[in-house]
Structure 1
């Protein structure tokens, strides 16, 4: 099967102040030291790879005191050029939301909505051709789903996350192309698994080992799939479907609970 890549526009934030000084997910252990220089190098490798593939990467300035800003996917959700801001569940990250809103307002985005309910951007919102998939259970409020549907005018499918290791939807599910996804069933409640089977009967199913390597925290341009290099079990099935998997080493950033997708917010243009 031949796949065509579509040029994308991404927003990323360098890990200039990255560290693990608190724990708000099971991946974070403040006792484990972070090599900031290595984290920067790994992040730059991801940024440069996007650009080499023909994508545009915009940069958001890191701010002191906000060590998780590198996980730019959490700061907003952009669909059809419209920006739904984030409202973070934990005080440690709360100020990131305004930093993102300031960036959008300063870069020509005119439809910007400050949310009333807790959502953590593309951490818990995944955009397919037909739906806006929306995670809940650990961070984002179910009330944010109606807010997103009203703002974007797209049908929202709520999905319940039940394993704390997969605290955001983007740790357990990845949109590959159109309405084609890959996901890890055990991260979801029985009812949500049934919904996913009904909507996506041909989805690529990840193993527990590949999910535990954060292999689903991946980014696809419709052909190339950038994902953690340790998720080796996903490479063959992706190739079988015509995709070109590209392994990335973001091991230092994994100490904060994120990988490729967490570092990458997609700026979807107006249609």
Structure 2
């Protein structure tokens, strides 16, 4: 039987100039001018064509039928990566490996969207860690993590949404043939943005341009232990994020006491079983 270990908490320039002098008769100038005039005419025609194409493209976008979004969507992240320069970016390779859903205990982040109403511009969103079920393609919330209430967000007719999630427990797993190391990373004040793309009838939703911004406090990171490989001993998350790179004042007292994380993600539709 596979044992699961838990860790809890409450990123020569060279320039050569060649001069060529040639004698030209008076008749050469009109010919050159004619060529220039022809080129100018062609450029004008090309610009006119480009402007026409741009206008047609704009008209096609404006005339596109709006998506009849459903009121509720269950989504699962298919990728997650910290942006270059963000604390935590050093974990990207590990994260990519453990998003593989063929693993017994992959990284699973679920997003539940409810009460979606583009006319009113409102949507409810919550997110958290999930676990596989015995039915392929369906998931449950991880009971070892804190699942928040729905945060009220906004959405427009093009599917662009945003919301601030007060808290999200991100679970990083490292799986070997004999055990699974499971680390719960609490992220706070998660700014959650992206665009839901779907078929005209609202089916087959995806998110391919999502962004996440939130912070982890040093106090929490000091208590979180994470294994970077199946054979390496766990170390404090503070060591991974690097205490010298604290970049956010979470307490508002004028001192840097947290890491502001920036990441991108993609997501597809899934089934969340309550």
TM-score interval (norm. to shorter): under 0.3
TM-score where L is the length of structure 1: 0.24
Task: Please identify which structure carries the higher helix content.
Answer: 1
TM-score where L is the length of structure 2: 0.24
